[in-house]
């Protein structure tokens, strides 16, 4: 409901005929290139997740890790509150038998790596895009983002320090087992894996950033290389907002706000957003539905 209200408010003053014509005149080849960049970034993030699972002692093929990762994105696109992250661990348990509380720790670490790479990239790209005159709203957002990173790392360290004492003294054995598995997943992260994981995070996010860059070209717009990537990363970061599925409504509003900072018309901004969300939202819902049915059918056949 919140998503549709925001979307309605965004597109209320639009001339839909002009918007439709703008989209119809887009270069389809560049749109396909944008699609390719987006799905390449998903594959790279699947590789990163597989490496995190390997450190946690969970053995799974890259093909299966990629499939489960994509299905979690599908669930996050239709249900709010990041339920897809829990669904990912549930699907993994069906495959490997490993506890959900163990694999969910790899998703938690994944989020820390995401924030630790996206926010510095956004800061660098914002500095270049706006030639030192970074808008106040973006500076505030980045400051809060950096504070969140430090808070997450600090809370993680505190958790690792006190969890064993809590588990040892708690009467709730189920809770104790869950927390023990979660701690185990975090502690098994190997130091020598961190540079590789950081590099994969940077490459995957920049690759995803090229999605809007290609969409700009599809619409005949040229605003350089850095600003489209900055815009894309800003939108991608907001998909983490748990109140709506895949940040629906919030992402669209933020993207139009950012594009407006470069005086891009409301029609062109809306066309960029529509094409971007066709890739980053509707394609996941469409293909995810098909993949989900296929996966459930294959799993039932395997269990028999």
Chain segment 177-224, per-residue pLDDT in tens: 888 888 888 999 999 999 999 999 999 999 999 999 999 999 999 999
Parts of the chain with a pLDDT under 50:
302-304
- What tokens does 194 get? 């961190």
Domain count, the chain: 1
Q: Which domain holds residue 286?
A: 2-303
What is the average pLDDT value for the chain, to the nearest integer? 87
HEC per residue, 237-270: HHCCCCCCHHHCCHHHHHHHHHHHCCCCCHHHHH
- Which pLDDT belongs to residue 217? 95
Rg of the chain over all Cα atoms, to the nearest angstrom: 20
- Which pLDDT belongs to residue 10? 61
- Which pLDDT belongs to residue 303? 45
Beta strands in 143-187 (DSSP E): none
- Which pLDDT belongs to residue 257? 87
Its pTM stands at: 0.90
Q: Which residue carries 């987006």 as its tokens? A: 38
- Which pLDDT belongs to residue 304? 45
- What tokens does 257 get? 């706000």
Q: Which residue carries 């028999």 as its tokens? A: 304
- In terms of DSSP H, where are the helices of 79-189? 83-96, 100-129, 136-169, 173-187
**CB under 8 Å to 39, separation ≥6 — which residues?**
none
Distance, in Å, from the CA atom of 100 to the CA atom of 87, rounded to the nearest integer, reads 9
Measured in degrees and rounded to the nearest 5, phi and psi for residue 134 equal -70, 130
- Which pLDDT belongs to residue 17? 80
Distance, in Å, from the CA atom of 263 to the CA atom of 269, rounded to the nearest integer, reads 9
């Amino acid at each position: 409901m919140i998503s549709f209200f925001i979307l309605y408010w965004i597109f209320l003053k639009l001339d839909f005929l002009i918007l439709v014509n703008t989209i119809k005149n887009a270069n389809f080849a560049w749109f396909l290139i944008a699609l390719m960049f987006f799905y390449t970034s998903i594959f790279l993030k699947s590789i990163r997740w597989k490496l995190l699972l390997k450190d946690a002692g969970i053995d799974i093929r890259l093909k299966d890790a990629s499939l489960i990762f994509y299905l979690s994105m599908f669930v996050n696109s239709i249900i709010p509150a990041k339920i897809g992250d829990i669904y990912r661990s549930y699907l993994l348990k069906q495959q490997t038998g490993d506890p959900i509380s163990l694999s969910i720790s790899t998703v938690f670490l994944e989020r820390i790596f995401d924030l630790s790479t996206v926010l510095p990239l956004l800061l660098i790209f914002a500095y270049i895009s706006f030639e030192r005159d970074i808008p106040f709203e973006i500076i505030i957002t980045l400051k809060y983002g950096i504070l969140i990173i430090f808070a997450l790392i600090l809370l993680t360290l505190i958790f690792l320090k006190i969890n064993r004492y809590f588990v040892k003294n708690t009467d709730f054995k189920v809770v104790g087992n869950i927390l023990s598995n979660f701690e185990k997943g975090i502690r098994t992260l190997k130091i020598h894996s961190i540079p590789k994981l950081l590099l994969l995070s940077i490459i995957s996010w920049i690759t995803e950033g090229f999605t809007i860059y290609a969409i700009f070209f599809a619409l005949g717009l040229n605003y350089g290389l850095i600003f489209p990537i900055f815009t894309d990363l800003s939108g991608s970061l907001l998909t983490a907002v748990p109140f709506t599925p895949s940040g629906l409504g919030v992402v669209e509003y933020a993207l139009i706000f950012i594009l407006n900072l470069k005086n891009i018309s409301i029609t062109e901004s809306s066309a960029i957003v529509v094409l971007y969300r066709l890739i980053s939202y509707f394609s996941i819902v469409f293909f995810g539905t098909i993949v989900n049915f296929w996966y459930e059918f294959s799993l039932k056949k395997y269990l028999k």
